[in-house]
Amino acid sequence: MSSKFETVFEKIIFSSRWIQAPLYGGLILGGMLYTYKYLVELIHLFTSINEITETALMLGVLTLVDITMVANLLIMVIVGGYSTFVSRLDIDKHEDKPEWLQKIDAGSLKVKLAGSLVGVSSIHLLQTFINIKNHESEHVMWQVIIHVVFLFSALMLAYTEKILHQKH
């Protein structure tokens, strides 16, 4: 009796991974929103190119880079997270299968995400430095501190993963 109950309960536990599927669907919708914002910013840059300064253009282009990096981060989370935690993707024979997907596990996904966050933080920091006259020094200081924390965290995650993989 307890063995049958245990078997059923384990099947329920294993099936519960599908609870995450709508979360990945929501992230896809979030990616679509980022695509929309990207297109709006790109159209704005095109339509105002004769009126804006080089600094404003640079900030606009950095915004495009920032949006692209966040979209890349979303794809890593969607594809990597879904295939790691919900269900394997049946794309082994697909010509566009991302190379990183075959090497991904929960730990390496965290390191990739942390690296992406450092990249996004770097873009925001660069935007602040370019437009520093419009920012209070305390705001800049906190942005630098947050960036350093992201960088340190990414390095520590990468180091931890390296140690864990060396033991195997």
Tens of pLDDT, residue by residue over 86-119, are: 988 888 788 887 777 777 777 777 888 888 889 8
Using CA atoms, how far apart are residues 162 and 168, in angstroms rounded to an integer?
A: 10
Q: CB within 8 A of 161, min separation 6: which ones?
A: 107, 108, 110, 111
Taking the whole predicted model, whether its pTM rises above 0.85 is answered as no
Position of tokens 């997907």? 101
pLDDT of residue 1: 60
> Taking CA 64 as the corner, what is the angle to CA 38 and CA 52, rounded to the nearest 5 degrees?
100
Q: Is-contact 113 56, C-beta < 8 A?
A: no
Using CA atoms, how far apart are residues 156 and 148, in angstroms rounded to an integer?
A: 12
